[in-house]
Amino acid sequence: MFTPLHDRVLVRRIEGDEKTKGGLIFPDTAKEKPSEGEIMAVGAVARNDDGDRIAMDVKYGDRTLFGKWSGSDIKIDGEDLMIMKESDILGMLA
């Protein structure tokens, strides 16, 4: 099991649709990395600008949106995942 440190989170990408509602199929060359993911693990603590500990806003299982260039791609136990700072997350999906 992987545990992120500090204010980092481990995210599994959620792949987007491969075709439009109208039935057009996206070729692999036209696909962008999805910006939606599921939190798989969360670091223990974040710190504010004064160095005080603050609670993380995300938790295991949350569905999130993140920027196209956020985080670093990693592979754990054969699964493609991303590690990023909590501040790279743009928002959460209900």
Tens of pLDDT along 20-46? 667 766 666 555 655 899 999 999 888
User: DSSP label at 25?
Assistant: B
Pairing type for strands 72-76 and 8-13 reads unpaired
Confidence (pLDDT) at 48: 84
pLDDT the model gives residue 71: 94
pLDDT for the residue 37: 95
Specify the pTM: 0.78
User: Which token pair is 55?
Assistant: 């609670």
Does residue 55 sit in helix, strand or coil?
Answer: coil
How is domain 8-16+24-93 classified at the CATH fold level?
10 Kd Chaperonin, Protein Cpn10; Chain O (2.30.33)
Q: What is the pLDDT of residue 82?
A: 96
Query: Which residues pair with residue 85 across a beta bridge?
Result: 8
Position of tokens 């990023």? 84
Amino acid at 56: M
Q: What is the mean pLDDT of the chain?
A: 86
- Placement of tokens 């949350």 in the chain: 62
pLDDT reported for residue 69: 87
Which regions of the chain are under pLDDT 50?
none
CA angle 69, 45, 35 (to 5 degrees): 20
- The reported pLDDT for the residue numbered 32 is 62
**Phi, psi dihedral angles at 93 (to 5 degrees):** -100, 145
Write the DSSP symbol of residue 35. Answer: S
Domain coordinates of the chain in residue numbers? 8-16+24-93
